[in-house]
Structure 1
Amino acid sequence: MKTQFVLVSLLCAVAPLASACVAAEPTDIDPASAMVAGELVTLDEIEATGPEIQATPSVPAQTFLFPRQATPFGASYEDWAATWWQWALAIPKAENPILGGPCELHQTGDVFFLAGTTGGASTRSCTIPAGKGIFFPIANHIYKNCPEYVGQMANYTCTDSMDVDLLHDRTLLWATYDKDLLLEIDGVPVDGLDEYNAHSEAFTETSSTNVADRVFPACAGPIEANSCGVPVGTARAVVSDGYWAMLHPLPVGQHQIHFAATIYRPGNPFSLDVTYNIVVTP
C-alpha cells in the first residue's frame, strides 16, 4: 500500500525581506531569503498516537487567487511585488507589519497588503474593508546594489555593486532552491503555488535614511559613503523574486489566511509560518 503523508507542523518563519545586503557582518552577506521547515509523518504514526486526522481536500489556486498572468487592479504580479517591497521597507521599524506592527496602518488603494516575518511563526489579527484585493508573499527575497560593501566582500567589485543584471542573476539563484509552499484560506489548502513565482524589474529601495527606523539596517535607503565614487544619496536599486498571492476580495465576515514556506538553501534553510485572523468589514 502506498504510504500517505500529512504535513503536521511547519516550524516556520517567512523571511520576506532578506537580501545580499541584509547581514550583521559583510562577510556573512548572502542573497538567500525566506524559508519554512516542515515535519512529515505517516498516517500510520498518527493513528498510533492519536485520533485520526481527516485531510481537507485542496482546491485549484484560482478558486481564491487571481490568475498568475492576470493584471489584478491594473498591475501585474511583478509590479505588485515591487510595490509591496516599497511599502514594506518604507514603514518605520516601530510599527512595521513584518515585525508584528498593526496591519491596518499605511494601507491605500484597492489592494490590502499583508506581511510575512523575518523568521519564525506568527499569528496576527487584521481588519480589512470589503472589496479589497489582498496581496502578500508566501516567500520572497531581494538583492540590492551595495557599493558600501566593496572591499569587505571577496570578489565583489564596484562594477558588480551597481550592475542591475547581476541583481537579477543573484535573485534568480534563490528561486532554484528546493522549496515547500503552503497556503490555506479558511482551512482549505490551495494547489498550484509553484506557478505563482514573480520576478520583478529593478525598483528603488525605500528604507528610511534614519538607520533606527529600518527593518534591515544595512545596505538600505539611499546609497551611503563608499569607495566606488557613487554619489551619496543615489537611489539604491533592488530586484525581487518570490511566490505571491493576490486574493480576490473576501466576503464580509471572519476569515483565516495561513501561509508558510521552506526554502532549502544548502546548509542553511530558512522558514516561515504566518496565520492571519481576518475580519472583513462592510
Structure 2
Amino acid sequence: MCGRNQPPDVWFLAGTNGGRAVRACEIPNGRPIAVPVINSVGDAQSCAAFMGSAQGTVALDGKPVKPETYAGDSIMVEGVQGNRVTGEEGRFTATGCGLWVQLPSLAPGAHSLKIHGQSDDFSVDVDYVLTVATALA
C-alpha cells in the first residue's frame, strides 16, 4: 500500500490516526522521502493549540533526524466519504500543521525509520522498515 497515489518527485510515507504501527515499504531508488512526525488539519485556532505542545523524535538507521515545524499553512483538502480527519466531504480549504521530516533519497538496501510524535494526549509511534530498490543499470 505504500506505493498508492505517489507523485513522481517525492515519496510520501503515511502517519497514523494515533497509536502504534509497524510498516514495511518498498521505495524506488532516487526518490526523496517526506513523512509526518505528528500533524493535524483544522482551522488556524485548532492548529495553534495543537502546535503548542507538539514534539517528536525521528531516527533513520539509528541516527537522529531533526523534524521541521509547519505552524499552520493553508491547504486544499479532498475529503472522501467517511473522512475521519475532519468529517467533511468534497474539496475545501483548511489549515495544516505539524512536524515533518524530509529525507534525501536513500542508498539502495534496507533502512530503519523510527518516528515518535506527541501533542497533548494524541501520540504516534511508527516503525518503518524501508527497502530502497537497486538502481537500474
Under a length normalisation based on structure 2, what TM-score does the superposition of the two structures give? 0.88
Shift of 1:199: 3.3
Count of aligned residue pairs for this structure pair: 134
Q: What secondary structure is seen at the aligned counterpart in 1 of 2:78?
A: coil
| Alpha-carbon distance in structure 1 between the residues aligned to 2:64 and 2:124 | 17
Distance 2:69 2:85 in 1: 27
Q: Could you tell me which of 141, 145, 149 is aligned with 2:40?
A: 141
For 2:46, which of 170, 182, 192 is the aligned residue? 170
1 or 2, which has the higher strand percentage?
A: 2
Aligned-pair identity (%): 26
Q: Distance in 2 between matches of 1:108 and 1:126?
A: 16
Compute the displacement of 1:180 (Å). Answer: 3.8
Structure number with higher helix proportion: 1
- Verify the 8 A CA contact 2:55 2:99 in the aligned structure 1: no
The equivalent of 1:261 in structure 2 is: 117
Residue in structure 2 matching 1:184, options 47, 59, 66 = 59
1:197 paired to 2:69 = yes
Displacement of 1:170:
2.8
Q: Equivalent residue for 2:88?
A: 220
Match of 1:237 among 75, 87, 93: 93
From the superposition, tell whether residues 108 and 182 of structure 1 become closer, same or farther in structure 2 (CA, over 3 Å).
Answer: same
**Retained in 2: the 8 A contact 1:205–1:221?**
no
CA distance in structure 1 between the aligned counterparts of 2:64 and 2:73, rounded to whole angstroms: 30
Please identify the structure whose Cα radius of gyration is greater. Answer: 1
Aligned partners of 1:236, 1:199: CA distance in 2, in Å? 19
Structure 1 residue 217: Cα displacement:
7.2
Is the CA contact (8 Å cut-off) linking 2:48 and 2:72 kept in structure 1?
Answer: no
AA of the residue aligned to 1:204: M
Unmatched 5+ stretches in structure 2: none
Give structure 1 stretches of 5+ with no counterpart.
1-101, 144-166, 223-234
Q: Is the 8 A contact 1:119 1:271 kept in 2?
A: yes
> Could you tell me the TM-score, scaled by structure 1's length?
0.45
The code of the aligned residue for 1:221 comes to: E
